[in-house]
Amino acid sequence: MGVLLVISSMVALNAALGAIAVDTLATQSQLTWIVDGYTLVMACLLLPAGALGDRYGRRTVLLVGLVIFAAASLAPIYFDTPTALIVARCAAGVGAAAILPATLSLLTAAYPEEERNKAIGIWAGVCASSALVGFTGTAILTQFGPWQTIFWAFVGSATLLFVLALTIPSSKDPEATPIDWWGALLIGSAVAVFVFGVIEAPLRGWSDPIVYSCLTGGVLLAVVFGVVQLRRRHPLLDIRVFKRPDMLAGSLGMTTLFFAIFGFFFLLMQQLQLVLGYSPVKTALALCPLAFPLLALAALTQWYLPRLGLRISVAAGLAILAAGLLCMRVAGVDAAYIDIAWPMLVLATGMGLCNAPATTAITGAVPLSKQGVASAINDTTREVGGALGIALAGSVLAAGYQHALAPDIAMLPPTVKEPALGSLAQALTISEQMGPAAGDLAAVARTAFIDAMHSSLTMLGIVVLISATVIAIWAPGRDGQQIRLVRRFTAQRTDGSMSSPHPGSP
């Protein structure tokens, strides 16, 4: 329930942005940061929050996070200026950063090894389905009440979870070491700067100095963090754990999975609402079938993961996901729901097949005493992957849309042409306002959007296929070993010159 609250909150406001803009007179930039401020703050605080849970108790950190989240969600009900909303959402991100790692680390520490895969599978399935719950809940709430009801729902849910969390046992590192605050500052800054650049890229363009400076700066700060961690007696994160093929494969798989999920949702929700004319409630109902494969495969993790192994589970899952993304290209301007539904079920099957195994690989590569940090690694890969997915899918969509639409509206006046090239939503608004004088603007804009969406889906599919290939080569199989080629290459590099930091590990 905790992970459901945090992840659904990431997408919940998307369906209410129109109402928020009307009531608060927020600009487009302010609307963007009402949504993204929460994600940015949460992403940069996940690792420090996970370490705090390991040291001081995961339930304690969970309870503190719920209090902060509830208080921050209460503020927009009474202070509804755009600036106040942005500050409140950033504060809610602080609470979410404390909640999210604790939800998984409490499970991995509480369940014995023979039941852990099932527990992690259910957690991962709920996590992947949370966006659907958030969007559906928001659509229903705003259908029958003002947008402030969303925040009342957040406050009520967090309060209920606080009471329920008092009934569970806590856990922490029995040999807790001091928190590496310098490491926390470095990794928090690295993630914050990098994710800020990714969020701004679709608005400013990838060649904008602010964007590429942030991306470069984030990578450099991450490198500095790695160097510092190697020299620390008690590092925030022992980065040598990434030498383990299961950790590396799990992290790559999780980043790729959420890269595809968030990019796909960004495209699909626009197609359903702007091209096919679905209402928010109808859109939410149309997305519901995605949850069935996700939850079913999550519950079956304990059965199929030991039989298939990490390599087949994650690589095959990503390959099926890529196939589903490419199959979505069959849905045109006049698509029926079935044309969208069956590719959704294909890609949801791929998502469900690789989601829990990738999570298990990350948490299994780290000792139980450090599960807060392991959970934070898992959550950070999800956040960074999701931000990249939206940014790249949005950039390809915007460029393709402008390229496809420009020749068809070349004769229109600049006051009409420039807004129409900005987005499909603006083109449809102009078409309604101008009536017959707009000609076929709405039709050609929808066609240009679908052409651009197909290009974006192709990009997502190719990236996922590349990742699936890398994991098929690199990840350990059911026997805990990599394929022969990688084992031979690794043996040649390490023979007589390097020893594993985890003796006896696969």
Residue whose pair of structure tokens reads 């149309």 in the numeric block = 286
Residue whose pair of structure tokens reads 């017959």 in the numeric block = 436
Q: What is the pLDDT of residue 451?
A: 92
Find the helix or strand (DSSP H, E) in which 386 lies.
helix 371-405
User: What CA–CA distance (Å, rounded) separates 387 from 193?
Assistant: 12
Q: In this structure, what token pair is assigned to residue 334? A: 């006049």
Q: In this structure, what token pair is assigned to residue 188? A: 């928090």
Q: Is 232 helix (H, G, I), strand (E, B) or coil?
A: coil
User: What CA–CA distance (Å, rounded) separates 251 from 265?
Assistant: 21
Q: In this structure, what token pair is assigned to residue 202? A: 């679709």
Give 295-315 pLDDT, tens digit per residue: 888 888 888 888 888 889 999
CB atoms within 10 A of CB 480: 12
Rg (CA), the chain: 23
Residue whose pair of structure tokens reads 């389905």 in the numeric block = 129
CB atoms within 10 A of CB 429: 14
Q: Residue type for 254, please?
A: M
User: What CA–CA distance (Å, rounded) separates 270 from 264?
Assistant: 10
Of 345, 252, 236, 361, nearest to 291 by C-alpha is 345
Q: Residue type for 243, please?
A: K
Q: Residue type for 460, please?
A: L
Q: Are 313 and 305 in contact (CB under 8 A)?
A: yes
| Domains 1-179 and 253-506 fall in the same CATH topology | yes
| Superfamily of 253-506 according to CATH | MFS general substrate transporter like domains (1.20.1250.20)
Q: What is the pLDDT of residue 98?
A: 94
Q: In this structure, what token pair is assigned to residue 454? A: 């197909």
Q: Residue type for 170, please?
A: S
- DSSP letter for each residue of 173-184: -TT-----HHHH
For the 1-179 domain, the top CATH level (class) is: mainly alpha
3-state secondary structure string across 221-242:
HHHHHHHHHHHCCCCCCCHHHH
Q: Residue type for 307, please?
A: R
Q: Residue type for 375, please?
A: S
- Residues with Cβ within 8 Å of 24's Cβ and at least 6 positions away in sequence, in order, are 80, 81, 82, 85
Find the helix or strand (DSSP H, E) in which 297 lies.
helix 291-299
User: What CA–CA distance (Å, rounded) separates 85 from 77?
Assistant: 9
User: What CA–CA distance (Å, rounded) separates 285 from 139?
Assistant: 10
Of 75, 176, 319, nearest to 327 by C-alpha is 319
Q: In this structure, what token pair is assigned to residue 379? A: 């959550």
User: What CA–CA distance (Å, rounded) separates 399 from 409?
Assistant: 16
Give the C-alpha distances (Å, rounded to integers) separating 144 from 133, 137, 150.
17, 11, 11
Give the C-alpha distances (Å, rounded to integers) separating 258 from 45, 317, 467.
19, 13, 12
- Residues with Cβ within 8 Å of 424's Cβ and at least 6 positions away in sequence, in order, are 270, 274, 275, 401, 445, 446, 448, 449
The single-letter DSSP state of residue 172 is: -
Task: Please tell me the pTM assigned to this model.
Answer: 0.83
Give the C-alpha distances (Å, rounded to integers) separating 495 from 172, 180, 239, 246, 490.
38, 33, 22, 21, 8
Where are the domains positioned within the chain?
Answer: 1-179, 253-506
CB atoms within 10 A of CB 112: 7
Q: In this structure, what token pair is assigned to residue 113? A: 């090894």
User: What CA–CA distance (Å, rounded) separates 50 from 105?
Assistant: 8
Handedness of CA 104, 10, 284, 338 (dihedral sign): negative
Per-residue pLDDT tens, the chain, 506 aa: give them: 999 999 998 888 877 776 787 788 777 678 778 888 888 898 889 888 988 888 888 899 999 999 999 999 998 888 878 899 999 999 999 999 999 999 988 888 888 877 888 888 888 888 888 888 888 888 888 888 888 899 999 999 999 999 999 998 887 777 767 778 888 888 889 888 988 888 788 778 888 899 889 999 999 998 998 898 888 888 887 888 888 888 888 899 999 999 998 889 888 888 888 888 888 888 888 888 888 898 888 888 888 888 888 889 999 999 999 999 999 998 888 888 999 999 999 999 999 999 889 988 888 888 777 777 888 888 888 888 888 888 888 888 888 888 888 888 777 778 778 888 877 888 888 888 877 766 688 888 889 999 999 999 999 999 999 999 999 988 887 766 666 545 554 555 555 443 444 434 43
Give 230-249 pLDDT, tens digit per residue: 888 888 878 888 888 888 88
Q: Are 249 and 471 in contact (CB under 8 A)?
A: yes
